[in-house]
Amino acid sequence: MPNEVTVIGAGMAGSEAAWQAAHLGVRVKLVEMRPAVSTPAHSTPDFAELVCSNSLGSDREGTAPGLLKEELRSLGSVVMQCADGARVPAGQALAVDRTLFSAGVTRQVESMSEIEIVREQALGIPDEGIVIVATGPLTSPALAGEIARFLGEEHLHFFDAAAPIIDSDSIDLASAFWASRYDKGDADYLNCPMNQAQYDGFWQALVSADVSELHEFESLRLFEGCMPVEELARRGRDTLRFGPMKPVGLVDPRTGKRPYAAVQLRKENTSGSLLNIVGFQTRLTRSEQRRVFRMIPGLAQAEFLRYGMMHRNTYINGPAHLCPTLSLKRTPRVFMAGQITGVEGYLESTATGLVAGVNAALMAHGAELAVFPRATAMGALCWHVSTPAAGDYQPMNVNFGLLPAPAVSARRNEKRARQISEARAAMSRFMEGRRGHELDR
Ligand SMILES: Cc1cc2nc3c(=O)[nH]c(=O)nc-3n(C[C@H](O)[C@H](O)[C@H](O)COP(=O)(O)OP(=O)(O)OC[C@H]3O[C@@H](n4cnc5c(N)ncnc54)[C@H](O)[C@@H]3O)c2cc1C
């Protein structure tokens, strides 16, 4: 049997990676620190423990999470198989009985004779051999320190304070205008102007909205970095008008005057399909983000591609270090998988685990690594974590903005239908091209 692959972390990504590599005939050493050492959010010794919600997101055809699930099923993902087997009724979402689900993944991984399970904390990246690091957003501090040393201190983030990202197609441009303050540079910002009555209503809603609870381990760092928008608002009625909603240097072309306040949105990717609400990092619950931020002129129908959040999250600067195969540019024998790459979410982490597991196995076999097509949901995630884009690198859930836009312009639903059909065609071509290779099982 070919060389061993060491997988560190048996969460969503590591379990999938180990199972895929073993399935491709490679001996795997899977290193998991629980139960001897745990994280502040895990509470069982099981693999693929869901640390919060038991929902794995929408399973509806026509959505980006639905497309990702379809691809994972077609590629024989063990996590998807166990999720389908532990499904509980939840409308069009895929929700699972968390105990059954994690027990299922643990059983499947343990049943593979190719996988040796080692229950200990990894304190560093092994000096030799093929390694997959899949230690997640709560990577143990000792290993996080070693990863920082390995990649360069400034390339590891420990905290995620992110503003919501909106699908630009869902914004009503009749209520907003593109401009930069004082018309300097290009018209890089989409400005959503408010009059006094709109501002007062918005401010009231914001200061009284529900926020998600902080975990004890997160509270210390929260206020050191950037302030949540609702906290700023609580400082006084006008604080936002002198902060992220200041209208200076802006003239609303519909009135010819400076608005009373303005929310600005900035491009998150070069095509401009993703826009983030500048300065709106928040702890509002998801339903409150939908309710309150849709009061902003132009955002009444806003589709949230990623919600704002503030939580501990260990992730590397993917585009600086990763290839689309998920191996490190400078040290190709080391792969990264899961949330530590800068994807967000249970199944996005699983998807990168699948890619890293397959590629680590291909490397062990001495075969050429596989680059999943950018037009697929799996490939788009790998592309996101490995390609420099405009603005700061931010973790991302799967969404249509990551997939290439169709060549001809089309209305939103038609555009998505085309993206899905292109993704399906690209995945078929990819699998056809791999026929006779290790991926063909
Ligand atoms: C508080 C919190 C709430 C979240 N809520 C949600 C949610 O509701 N929905 C959602 O989709 N996502 C949520 N996430 C994100 C979620 O963690 C990821 O989606 C997913 O679990 C990441 O998968 P992963 O495999 O990268 O990491 P994990 O699933 O966390 O797995 C990492 C594994 O590595 C192990 N490990 C860590 N360090 C070491 C070490 N040094 N040696 C050996 N083993 C180690 C850990 O014990 C763990 O088993 C949440 C994250 C946090 C922190």
Choice among 102-116, 205-219, 251-265, 347-361 with the minimum mean pLDDT = 205-219
Nearest Cα residue to 403 out of 394, 413, 416: 416
Residue 45 Cα distances to 10, 11, 392, angstroms: 10, 10, 35
Statement: residue 272 has pLDDT above 80: yes
Q: Residues 413-440: what's their mean pLDDT?
A: 87
352 lines ligand 1 (CB under 6 A): no
Model confidence at 222, in pLDDT bands (50, 70, 90)?
very low
Model confidence at 1, in pLDDT bands (50, 70, 90)?
low
Question: Is 158 strand, coil or helix?
Answer: strand
Give the residue extent of every domain in the chain.
5-161+311-433, 165-307
Instruction: Give CA–CA dist 202/117, Å, rounded.
Output: 53
Q: Residues 393-418: what's their mean pLDDT?
A: 88
Nearest Cα residue to 77 out of 367, 355, 421: 355
Which of ligand 1's atoms lies nearest the C-alpha of 38? Answer: 47
Judge: domain 5-161+311-433, CATH 3.40.50.300.
no
Statement: residue 45 has pLDDT above 60: yes
Statement: residue 68 has pLDDT above 70: yes
Residue nearest to atom 27 of ligand 1 (CA): 136
Is this structure's pTM higher than 0.75?
Answer: yes
Residue with tokens 């990819």: 430
- To test the ligand 1 pocket, which listed residue (55, 117, 349, 354) has its Cβ within 8 A of the most ligand atoms? 349
Model confidence at 441, in pLDDT bands (50, 70, 90)?
low
Model confidence at 410, in pLDDT bands (50, 70, 90)?
confident
Statement: residue 267 has pLDDT above 80: yes
338 lines ligand 1 (CB under 6 A): yes
Percentage of the chain exceeding pLDDT 90: 76
Which CATH number does 165-307 carry? Answer: 2.40.30.260
Interval between CA 138 and ligand 1 midpoint (Å): 6
Contact 378, 351 (CB under 8 A): yes
- To test the ligand 1 pocket, which listed residue (339, 341, 344) has its Cβ within 8 A of the most ligand atoms? 339
Q: Quick one: pLDDT at residue 224?
A: 39
Half-sphere exposure of 263 (CA within 13 A, CB side): 27
Model confidence at 214, in pLDDT bands (50, 70, 90)?
low
Radius of gyration of the chain (CA): 22
Q: Quick one: pLDDT at residue 346?
A: 97
Model confidence at 49, in pLDDT bands (50, 70, 90)?
very high
Q: Quick one: pLDDT at residue 310?
A: 81
Q: Residues 287-304: what's their mean pLDDT?
A: 96
259 lines ligand 1 (CB under 6 A): no
Instruction: Give CA–CA dist 374/439, Å, rounded.
Output: 18
14 lines ligand 1 (CB under 6 A): yes
Interval between CA 159 and ligand 1 midpoint (Å): 14
Backbone angles phi, psi at 131, to 5 degrees: -130, 140
Q: Quick one: pLDDT at residue 436?
A: 66
- To test the ligand 1 pocket, which listed residue (6, 7, 12, 283) has its Cβ within 8 A of the most ligand atoms? 12
306 lines ligand 1 (CB under 6 A): no
Instruction: Give CA–CA dist 385/329, Å, rounded.
Output: 12
Model confidence at 226, in pLDDT bands (50, 70, 90)?
low
Q: Quick one: pLDDT at residue 327?
A: 98
137 lines ligand 1 (CB under 6 A): yes
363 lines ligand 1 (CB under 6 A): no
Which of ligand 1's atoms lies nearest the C-alpha of 135? Answer: 34
Model confidence at 220, in pLDDT bands (50, 70, 90)?
very low
Which of ligand 1's atoms lies nearest the C-alpha of 53? Answer: 8
Mean residue pLDDT of the chain comes to 91
Q: Quick one: pLDDT at residue 161?
A: 75
The beta strand positions in 323-363, using DSSP E, are 334-336
Percentage of the chain exceeding pLDDT 70: 95
Q: Quick one: pLDDT at residue 262?
A: 98
Interval between CA 362 and ligand 1 midpoint (Å): 26
**CB neighbours of residue 184 within 10 Å:** 9
Amino acid at 10: A
Interval between CA 9 and ligand 1 midpoint (Å): 9
Residue nearest to atom 53 of ligand 1 (CA): 137
215 lines ligand 1 (CB under 6 A): yes
Q: Quick one: pLDDT at residue 221?
A: 46
Q: Quick one: pLDDT at residue 91?
A: 84
Q: Quick one: pLDDT at residue 381?
A: 98
Contact 15, 354 (CB under 8 A): no
Q: Residues 174-200: what's their mean pLDDT?
A: 91
Residue nearest to atom 45 of ligand 1 (CA): 9
Residue with the larger pLDDT of the pair 312 and 240: 240
311 lines ligand 1 (CB under 6 A): yes
Nearest Cα residue to 283 out of 392, 398, 160, 166: 160
Contact 4, 27 (CB under 8 A): yes
144 lines ligand 1 (CB under 6 A): no
Statement: residue 128 has pLDDT above 80: yes
Instruction: Give CA–CA dist 209/436, Å, rounded.
Output: 56
Statement: residue 323 has pLDDT above 80: yes
Interval between CA 137 and ligand 1 midpoint (Å): 5
**CB neighbours of residue 76 within 10 Å:** 14
